[in-house]
């Protein structure tokens, strides 16, 4: 019958992967050697080998030689891998991911930490917190490792001084708090003497917290990937005898025969006919995370490498723009406008650096705007891909939420996906209704234009709140109407009082708001009207989708104004409330605004008066919407309402 210990191990059966990091010479290898020895996990014969080695060299026993011995074995092609070492406690099994501490090996440290569930960070009590200690802490945060224990090592060299420990502890806790990380425990340790690893030290009776092993045993096991939503990135499609095999590895979740899978970003769905494994004599009924499989489908839909299969009720995000927390390893700096190959699960995409939002100085956590990110720096950037990409936020699913950037066939950076401020575009591109047919009108556009005396179209005014969109739109409408033109303003606030009253201001709501507004504007234009819109419309992708409805009738007008100018105007008091945190996700303050790249017309209201801006709009309408009919205007600027343009 199983005893209490074996029962507890069964409850904590999930393997915990712990990356151990620290500045060079802070005692990381010694701590690992001691940890393995004190938990009876030392490889057989290694203790004697190290003793013999030390005797030959005439030096005291050195625990760190364990790592050297394992490295030698790895170099000789024997089974032990120096970068991953197993040990076990009474509670569970562990894998230690040994990460080099030197700055030049940062890439290896990041590679190891990226697959870890927890981290053990080592700091020398005598030397104290070093720049590399801070950099490692920040990279752990960047990579989403949230379970962190810090070992203040070499307490024997600090005379087991409580005051020295407290000083280092307080300094590092302040640093971690600054990046939003809370160390579960900070533990005084003497790896050389074995104090604080498995057993407590009589020399540190002032410390009453857990040992390193007790702290690790207190970590939560990772959520098994089988319990996450299904993510089956497609590796390839093969035609084999009469079957068409969709192959890949299930990264998370479970899949059964008969399930309907949704392919993203194509949004096509099909039912699984069979699940097949290489070499198996009969097909499987089910498969789960970690298995490389092939599936056949009842429906023959077009599928290509990089698409992600999921269940329809919990699909990945679809987007062509996202924020990314990155670490940069390239010799050439990352710059705005640079293009790289983005590799995410099985997909490869061309990605452009849209903006460098923040470069972080890991030493003091200060951040700054910058034009480039240099080697070994960390930064927050925004990346834009040419088409939609299926992905997840890293915090939701690490398998489909992290990526690497490639330049000239070399990996130059990596990072994790952060969708803060950007919407899932799936809702904007998904068509749910079926059996829908277009109805042709008996009155065509040309007939309406002939009756009205002008062409129709959409003047889409976009810009920050306070840039002057509504002021210009209403004045333009007024002047055009007096001249006999069929014209109407669609204003953002007005639509949110009715048609879009059920939408909030989350990124997905903003995208849906613009989708509906765009469809309404297109209908008005089809009816022969000149439609003037006044929407912030912060996302370029949303505006591009509106343009795609009727490209020849869409005229993008960028009402440009600096954020400082808009905040100074603040006609509705929204910026003031956003700065106090009363309004979250406010465009330009805490949510992105993507300015047009090639608008048909730009009106810089930092420089132009209302009269000058409206005059340019009238000139644009005359040239592009009135056509050859001519334009007669006796007093084009005579009725500009200054009261309607506060601050402009």
What are the residue numbers of the active site?
537
Helix axes 65-75, 28-38, angle to 10 degrees: 90
Nearest to 21 by CA among 123, 94, 107: 123
- As a whole number of angstroms, the distance between CA 584 and CA 166 comes to 38
- As a whole number of angstroms, the distance between CA 221 and CA 13 comes to 8
Sheet of 118-124, strands arranged across: 84-88, 93-98, 16-22, 118-124, 147-153, 185-188
- As a whole number of angstroms, the distance between CA 588 and CA 471 comes to 20
| Contact assessment for residue 518 and residue 549, using Cβ atoms and an 8 Å cutoff | yes
Nearest to 150 by CA among 263, 23, 242: 23
| Contact assessment for residue 99 and residue 20, using Cβ atoms and an 8 Å cutoff | yes
Q: Which helix (H) or strand (E) holds 4?
A: helix 4-11
Helix axes 65-75, 46-57, angle to 10 degrees: 110
Strand partners, 95: 17, 86
- As a whole number of angstroms, the distance between CA 391 and CA 343 comes to 11
Scanning the structure block, which residue is given the tokens 């080695």?
Answer: 53
- As a whole number of angstroms, the distance between CA 513 and CA 492 comes to 9
Longest Cα–Cα distance of the chain, Å, equals: 104
């Amino acid at each position: 019958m199983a005893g209490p210990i074996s029962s507890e191990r069964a409850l904590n059966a999930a393997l915990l992967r712990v990356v151990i990091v620290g500045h060079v010479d802070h005692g990381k290898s010694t701590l690992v050697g001691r940890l393995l020895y004190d938990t009876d996990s030392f490889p057989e014969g290694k203790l004697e080998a190290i003793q013999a080695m030390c005797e030959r060299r005439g030096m005291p026993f050195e625990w760190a030689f364990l790592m050297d011995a394992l490295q030698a074995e790895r170099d000789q092609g024997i089974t032990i891998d120096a970068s991953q070492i197993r040990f076990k406690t009474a509670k569970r099994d562990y894998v230690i991911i040994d990460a080099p501490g030197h700055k030049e090996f940062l890439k290896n440290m990041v590679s190891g930490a990226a697959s870890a569930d927890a981290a053990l960070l080592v700091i020398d009590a005598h030397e104290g917190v070093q720049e590399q200690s801070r950099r490692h802490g920040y990279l752990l945060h960047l990579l989403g490792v949230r379970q962190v224990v810090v070992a203040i090592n070499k307490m024997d060299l600090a005379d087991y001084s409580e005051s020295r420990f407290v000083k280092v502890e307080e300094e590092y806790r302040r640093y971690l708090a600054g990046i939003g990380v809370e160390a579960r425990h900070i533990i005084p340790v003497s790896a050389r003497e074995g104090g604080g690893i498995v057993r407590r030290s009589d020399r540190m009776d002032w410390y009453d917290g857990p040992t390193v092993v007790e702290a690790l045993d207190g970590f939560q096991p990772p959520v098994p990937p089988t319990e996450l939503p299904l993510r089956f990135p497609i590796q390839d499609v093969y035609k084999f005898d009469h079957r068409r095999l969709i192959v890949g590895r299930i990264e998370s979740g479970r899949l059964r025969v008969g399930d309907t899978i949704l392919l993203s970003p194509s949004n096509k769905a099909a039912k699984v006919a069979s699940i097949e494994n290489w070499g198996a004599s009969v097909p499987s009924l089910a498969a789960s995370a970690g298995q490389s499989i092939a599936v056949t489908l009842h429906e023959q839909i077009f599928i290509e490498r990089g698409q992600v299969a999921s269940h329809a009720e919990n699909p990945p995000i679809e987007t062509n723009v996202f924020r990314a927390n990155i670490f940069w390893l390239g010799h050439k700096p990352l710059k705005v406008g640079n293009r790289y190959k983005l590799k995410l699960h099985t997909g490869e995409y061309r990605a452009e650096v849209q903006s460098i939002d923040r470069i972080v100085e890991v030493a003091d956590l200060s951040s700054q705007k910058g034009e480039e990110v240099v080697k070994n720096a960390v930064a927050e950037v925004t990346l834009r891909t040419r088409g939609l990409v299926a992905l997840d936020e890293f915090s939701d699913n690490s398998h489909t939420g992290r990526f690497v950037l490639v330049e000239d066939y070399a990996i130059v950076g990596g990072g994790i996906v952060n969708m803060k401020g950007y919407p899932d575009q799936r809702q904007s591109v998904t068509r749910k209704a079926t059996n829908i047919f277009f109805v042709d009108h008996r009155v065509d556009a040309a007939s309406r234009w002939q009756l009205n005396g002008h062409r129709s179209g959409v003047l889409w005014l976009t810009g920050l709140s306070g840039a002057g969109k509504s002021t210009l739109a209403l004045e333009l409408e007024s002047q055009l109407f007096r001249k006999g033109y069929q014209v109407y303003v669609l204003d953002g606030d007005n639509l949110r009082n009715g048609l879009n009253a059920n939408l909030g201001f989350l990124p997905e709501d903003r995208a849906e708001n613009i989708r509906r507004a765009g469809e309404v504007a297109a209908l008005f234009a089809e009816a022969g009207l000149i439609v003037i819109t006044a929407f912030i419309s912060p996302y370029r992708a949303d505006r591009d989708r509106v343009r795609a409805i009727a490209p020849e009738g869409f005229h993008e007008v960028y009402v440009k104004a600096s954020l400082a100018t808009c905040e100074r105007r603040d006609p509705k008091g929204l910026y003031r409330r956003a700065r106090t945190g009363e309004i979250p996700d406010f465009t330009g303050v805490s949510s992105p605004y993507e300015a047009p790249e090639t608008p048909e017309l730009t009106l810089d209201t930092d420089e132009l008066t209302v009269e000058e801006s409206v005059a340019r709009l009238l000139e644009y309408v005359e040239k592009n919407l009135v056509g050859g009919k001519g334009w007669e205007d006796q007093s084009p600027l005579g009725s500009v309402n200054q009261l309607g343009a506060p601050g402009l």
